Structure 1
Amino acid sequence: MIRSFARPFAWLLLAAILFVTVSPIQWRPHTHEPADVERFAAFAVVGLAFVLGYPRHWLLVTCLVVGSAFAFEVAQLLSPSRHAHIEDAIIKAAGGLAGIVAGAAISHFTGQTRD
């Protein structure tokens, strides 16, 4: 049940983050939290959703989430109102890894990796 919800949610969330990342800066949603907290949290949720959706493919999920963090940062070079920083990509990747670890623990303790 969790997988059937987590898979489309993960892909939609990843697409939404890409849109927000490369869209003009004025379109960026504001949560009144520091930008680094927003970056970390967004990718943590993505990592969590992907690993819950694909619990036996954690290595592929890790490559996808961490790779997306860096690729999305590079994609900001295409937008004149955005800027790319390696530090931002590292924070996004760290958030993704935190979400993956949390999701892997949840999957392990709920027995989802044995299906």
Structure 2
Amino acid sequence: MNFRRAVSILAWLLFGFIAYSTLSPIGMRPQIGNWVQLERFGAYGLLGFLYAVAYPKRPWLVLSLLLAAAIGLELLQAPSADRHARPSDVAVKMAGTACGIGAAWFFARFSRRFATKGCE
């Protein structure tokens, strides 16, 4: 199995975990700490990073689909009695996604530059 395939599998597993966490009842939602917005930002940032690494030739498609997924998952919370869809939550998730994709792009762009300097 090559590197991109492994990262792709991790990205899809993380997406499933995020979907479960977003749509499950509030008592079943996993929590790391008290900073819920930081958890959201980090989860979507990692998701964006993994998808951008797994599908490097399609950054705009990855960005569009993950932003749409963040909005869609948030809206799917609306029918639930114990969950709520807030614009601030969507904004944090979208910012995390964009930062993760940007970090992957930055890393890919500059890692080649440093790799060639180290081989001289």
Report if TM-score (shorter chain) is over 0.5. Answer: yes
Query: Any gaps of 5 or more consecutive residues in structure 1?
Result: none
- The residue number in structure 1 matching 2:59 is 58
- Is the 1:47–1:99 Cα contact (8 Å) retained in structure 2? yes
Give, in whole Å, the separation in 2 of the partners of 1:28 and 1:20.
5
- The residue number in structure 2 matching 1:87 is 88
Give, in whole Å, the separation in 2 of the partners of 1:8 and 1:78.
30
After TM superposition, the structure 1 = structure 2 runs for residues 69-108 of structure 1, keeping only pairs within 5 Å, are 69-108=70-109
Deviating above 3 A after TM superposition, structure 1's stretches of 4 or more consecutive aligned residues are none
Give, in whole Å, the separation in 2 of the partners of 1:100 and 1:106.
10
- Is the 1:69–1:90 Cα contact (8 Å) retained in structure 2? no
- The residue number in structure 1 matching 2:9 is 8
With the length of structure 2 as denominator, give the TM-score of the two structures: 0.87
Post-superposition shift, 1:34?
A: 0.9
Give, in whole Å, the separation in 2 of the partners of 1:50 and 1:75.
22
Q: Which moved more, 1:24-33 or 1:87-96?
A: 24-33
| Letter aligned with residue 31 of structure 1 | I
| Letter aligned with residue 35 of structure 1 | V
Give, in whole Å, the separation in 2 of the partners of 1:79 and 1:15.
19
Query: Any gaps of 5 or more consecutive residues in structure 2?
Result: 113-120
- Is the 1:2–1:52 Cα contact (8 Å) retained in structure 2? no
- Is the 1:44–1:95 Cα contact (8 Å) retained in structure 2? yes
| Letter aligned with residue 3 of structure 2 | I
Deviation per residue, 1:39-83 (Å, 9 max, x gap): 100000000000000011000000011111111110111322100
Post-superposition shift, 1:107?
A: 2.1
Give, in whole Å, the separation in 2 of the partners of 1:7 and 1:78.
31
Give the structure with higher Rg (CA). 2
Aligned length: 111
With the length of structure 1 as denominator, give the TM-score of the two structures: 0.90
